[in-house]
């Protein structure tokens, strides 16, 4: 056997479709105890920035999932959006794309308001970060009528921090 050359060991970057296809499996494997490899894969996934953003938005637009694997996936996706929202302005350079991304977060929060608390809390944090970057954060006043009391109280607590 001949040793591989550097060009033969090069691994192409996975496509967004490949990432989306493997995300559920990696989240499930991570929670089943396969933390070393799946944990690295998930951390690398979050570093893909807008690719991760779009994949997570897609996974959350289905509304709350009720299977264990689905709940784990959506919790990870919501956490990813909250993490990426801390640098919201760097992912969305123009005012129009920022407004669209912010509105998408609001829509997801409304859609998950009656779902698992880990998901809506992370989405509330993501939305608060987006609103801070946009300069529109107003103590959740605009959402108060459309969210359950538990979510409104949580968002109100975030306002005082």
Query: In this model, does residue 144 exceed pLDDT 70?
Result: no
pTM (whole model) above 0.95: no
CA-wise closest residue to 76 among 108, 28, 113: 28
For range 63-75, the mean pLDDT:
95
CA-wise closest residue to 77 among 37, 107, 120, 114: 120
Query: In this model, does residue 76 exceed pLDDT 60?
Result: yes
From CA 146, how far away is CA 109, in angstroms rounded?
10
pLDDT-above-90 percentage for the chain: 64
């Amino acid at each position: 056997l001949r040793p591989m050359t550097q060009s033969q060991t090069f691994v192409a970057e996975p496509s967004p479709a490949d990432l989306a296809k493997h995300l559920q499996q990696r989240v499930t494997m991570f929670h089943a105890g396969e933390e070393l490899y799946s944990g690295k894969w998930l951390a690398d996934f979050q570093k893909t920035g807008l690719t991760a953003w779009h994949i997570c938005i897609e996974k959350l637009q289905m509304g709350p999932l009720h299977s264990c694997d689905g709940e784990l996936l959506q919790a990870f996706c919501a956490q990813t959006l909250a993490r990426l929202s801390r640098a919201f302005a760097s992912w969305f350079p123009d005012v129009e794309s920022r407004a669209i991304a912010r509105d998408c977060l609001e829509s997801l929060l409304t859609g998950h308001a009656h779902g698992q608390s880990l998901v809506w809390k992370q989405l509330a944090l993501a939305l608060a970060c987006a609103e801070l970057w946009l300069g529109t954060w107003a103590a959740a006043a605009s959402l108060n009528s459309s969210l359950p009391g538990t979510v409104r109280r949580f968002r109100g607590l975030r306002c005082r921090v």
